[in-house]
Amino acid sequence: MKIITPEVNPKKEFLEISNDFSHPLEIFREAISNAFDAKATLIEIDVFVDRSTGIAELVIEIRDNGHGVSEAGLKNFFGLGYSSRLDYDSRGNKISGSIGEKGHGTKIYFNSRKIALESVSGGIKTSAYVDAPIQKLRSRSEEMPTVTYETEISDSKSFTHLIIHGYNNNQQSQFSQREIKDYIYWFTKFGSCEGELGIDAFKDVTIKLKALDYSSSEPETLRFGHIFPAQNCNLKDLKKIDAVSPLEYYVAKWVIPGESVIDFPDNKIDIVFYLEGDKAKREYNEMIHKKYSAWRSGEYNVESRYGLWLCKDFIPIERHNEWVSEKTEWTKYHAFVNSQDISLTANRSDAGNTSNQLIERIGDTVKAAFQRVIESSDEYSRYEEEFQKYKQYRSAKKEEEDFARRKKAALQKKAAKYTDILLLEPRQEGGVFSIVTQLLVIDPNLFGFKVIDYDTSLGYDLLVSKDNIHDLSKSSMYFVEMKYILKDDFNHSFKKLATIICWDTNIPNDYMLTDLTGEKRRMRITEKTGGHADYTKYMLISDTESHNIEVIVLRDYLKERLSLDFRPRGEVQ
């Protein structure tokens, strides 16, 4: 009988794990977790661009005053699957209290040109570096990244100083002060909500942050703990602020510690639940996008960030709004459920290693606690009663306001005449569809395709052909998608797309736009050079696919090709 011992391809596994982190800012989650596990009270983060090598290299420096990395600890720090922080009792229960478990987190550092580590622990200073980690992992040779280090006696206090050179292929996007700060407060241990439960073990931990666009010479000091608004459930006082919509500023809070999980009495969860009006959210969160304003990098809407988050170590992992809401009420919720019994995937992106039964029972427990404690409370009842009154008031008032608004908008709307047809400037995607269909009736050849079918309810808007319209069996068919404003949140595939028609776009020249499958295309803008039929061309260029996608920006296209100038309606009719 022969025996084979299964082996692991270390180089491939290192590369897979280092690439498994999907968000570049996750480097801060991992570094901050390590600092907390090292009992640090001060974490300093400096993000800058170093041009001394002749290229604009993204560099991240992270320093903490924790107990440091010893010579023996280098294996765990740079190795895969090693951790010195796991400590169990005689019954197999984890008692160490550390965040790190799998020995995977620091592998995100390998997405760089160089890793440099300097640390003092137990009177010994260790200096180590790894050259070209990502290059070696991606090469076809058998060479693995190696750690070069030296040690010396030191009388310094313990610390860890990490420098990541050339991180994330030197892509600077998302490394602004406001974006990193937002990520730290939402998705790292530093933004834990445990203070709401009376846990104050880390209340004195601070972060000093200085990112790419931070102009002050002194870094910004961040205080530990997730940011919540102050409670305010007094409707009488709130109506003095906003007589019509006092609930916009309503803030109520419930804390439910140590709730036993249904069918898993040994498992406990902690719940921190805030109900917040939209304006209350905006008073403390500058990253929520303001309506009718241009989107700034890192901004999000309430729907994509708020709701109920399942956490481990009080770090949000995944949202489960369905546990407390059947409709869209969850947009008012700012809530966290922490369980130390869930098992996370290697990159901590979800609880996929947890049994479905446990996740379901945690959900059942949250639902029961929500009904028992929150829905039955006076604060929640007052909110619901006021909300029902507001809906009745608003339905009648809204009809009057809508009529006045539509009348005013119609009078102010810009228009242009093409032949004898009045074309109205669109205000949304439906308006783009309307103006395109009007133009196609007047000039079927205007856009260089023939419409075979249309459906604006789901998927792409138009099915078109550019060749044999009379014999569809021989025709090459493509999709055309319409957008009011083409932005960087494209929600379709490029694969069968021939054209995008939009009223305007904020995508700049050379910007890489990503579709829902992950395919990337570069926006190439070619200015109008002359001639009646010439116009500014917007093309989404692919390095791998044979066809490029034209983006017809109607605002430019109609002015340059048809000399249509949209002016106030009264000047046109």
> Residue 532: pLDDT above 80?
no
Region at 459 (left for phi over 0; alpha for psi -120 to 50; beta for the rest): left
Which is higher by pLDDT, 514 or 222? 222
Give the pLDDT band (50/70/90) at residue 477: confident
Mean pLDDT over residues 76-90, rounded?
Answer: 65
Q: Is pLDDT of 557 > 60?
A: yes
- What's 198-210 look like in SS3? CCCCCCCCEEEEE
pLDDT of the residue at 252: 97
pLDDT at position 121 is: 96
Question: Which range has the worst mean pLDDT, 23-32, 301-310, 468-477?
Answer: 468-477
Out of 293-302, 399-408, 471-480, least confident range: 471-480
6-10, 332-336, 489-493: lowest mean pLDDT where? Answer: 6-10
Task: Tell me: do 206 and 80 sit in the same domain.
Answer: yes
Do residue 251 and residue 384 come from a single domain? yes
Q: 210-213 long-range contacts, Cβ below 8 Å, gap at least 24?
A: 210/45, 210/46, 210/47, 210/48, 210/177, 211/45, 211/47, 211/175, 211/176, 211/177, 211/179, 211/180, 211/181, 212/47, 212/48, 212/49, 212/172, 212/175, 212/176, 212/177, 213/176, 213/177
Is 441 found in the same domain as 384? no
Cα 223 to Cα 42, 184, 203, 445, 498, distances in angstroms: 10, 11, 8, 62, 50
pLDDT of residue 533: 64
Stretch among 195-199, 307-311, 467-471 having the lowest mean pLDDT: 467-471
Least confident segment among 104-118, 157-171, 228-242: 104-118
| 28 within some domain | yes
Instruction: Answer whether 425's CB lies under 8 Å from 412's CB.
Output: no
Residue 406 lies in a domain: no
Q: Which pLDDT belongs to residue 87? A: 59
Residue ranges with strand state E in 346-459: 414-418, 421-424, 450-454
Do 438 and 516 lie in one domain? The reply is yes
Residue where a domain terminates, one of 223, 258, 280: 223
Range of the domain at 492: 414-572
Q: Percent of the chain having pLDDT more than 70?
A: 88
Tell me if 197 is assigned to some domain.
yes
Q: Which of 183, 203, 223 is the last residue of a domain?
A: 223
> Which pLDDT value is given to residue 96?
57
Range name among 66-70, 403-407, 549-553, 561-565 with the lowest pLDDT average: 403-407
CA neighbours closer than 13 Å in the CB half-sphere of residue 265: 0
C-alpha pair distances (Å), 310 with each of 96, 187, 193, 313, 315: 22, 11, 12, 10, 8
**Is the Cβ–Cβ distance between 557 and 505 less than 8 Å?**
no
- Over range 207-213, report the average pLDDT: 97
Q: H or E segment at 10?
A: helix 10-19
pLDDT (0 to 100) of residue 243: 87
What local confidence, expressed as pLDDT, does residue 256 receive? Answer: 98
3-state secondary structure of 432: helix
Q: Identify the residue with better confidence: 92 or 159.
A: 159
Kindly report which listed range (288-302, 347-361, 509-523, 524-538) carries the lowest average pLDDT score.
524-538
Q: Does the pLDDT of residue 378 top 80, yes or no?
A: yes
Q: How confident is the model at residue 79 (pLDDT cuts 50, 70, 90)?
A: confident
Strands 57-64, 477-486: parallel, antiparallel or unpaired by DSSP?
Answer: unpaired
In a domain, 521, yes or no: yes
Grade residue 81 by pLDDT with cuts at 50, 70 and 90. low
| Cα(240)–Cα(112) distance, integer angstroms | 54
186 and 256, same domain (yes or no):
no
Same domain, 166 and 250: no
| The pLDDT of residue 29 | 94
The pLDDT score that the predictor gives to residue 267 is: 96
What pLDDT, in 10s, does the model give residues 94-122? 555 677 555 555 778 988 999 999 999 99
Q: Are residues 184 and 245 in the same domain?
A: no
Residues 54 and 98 occupy one common structural domain: yes
Which of 223, 247, 281 is the last residue before a domain boundary? Answer: 223
Residue 132 lies in a domain: yes
How confident is the model at residue 161, as a pLDDT? Answer: 98
The answer as to whether 425 is a domain residue is yes
Confidence of residue 17 (pLDDT cuts 50, 70, 90): low
In the prediction, which pLDDT does 100 show?
Answer: 57
Separation of alpha carbons 504 and 435, rounded Å: 14
Q: What are the strands of the beta sheet with 124-131, ordered from one edge?
A: 148-153, 124-131, 114-121, 159-165, 57-64, 42-50, 206-210, 220-223
380 and 254 co-located in one domain: yes
Rounded to the nearest integer, the mean pLDDT of the chain is: 88
Band the pLDDT of 459: cuts 50, 70, 90: low
Specify the CATH number for the domain of residue 99.
3.30.565.10
Looking at residue 330, which CATH number applies to its domain? 3.30.230
126 pLDDT above the threshold of 70: yes
Q: What is the domain count for the chain? A: 3
Identity of the amino acid at 319: R
- Are 187 and 115 in a shared domain? yes
Tell me whether residue 465 is in a domain: yes
Q: Are residues 433 and 568 located together in one domain of the fold?
A: yes
- pTM of the predicted model as reported, rounded to 2 decimal places: 0.68
Q: Is residue 230 part of a domain?
A: no
At 195, which amino acid appears?
Answer: G
Q: pLDDT higher for 244 or 38?
A: 38
What digits encode the pLDDT tens for the residues 136-146? 888 888 788 89
In this structure, are 91 and 169 located in the same domain?
yes
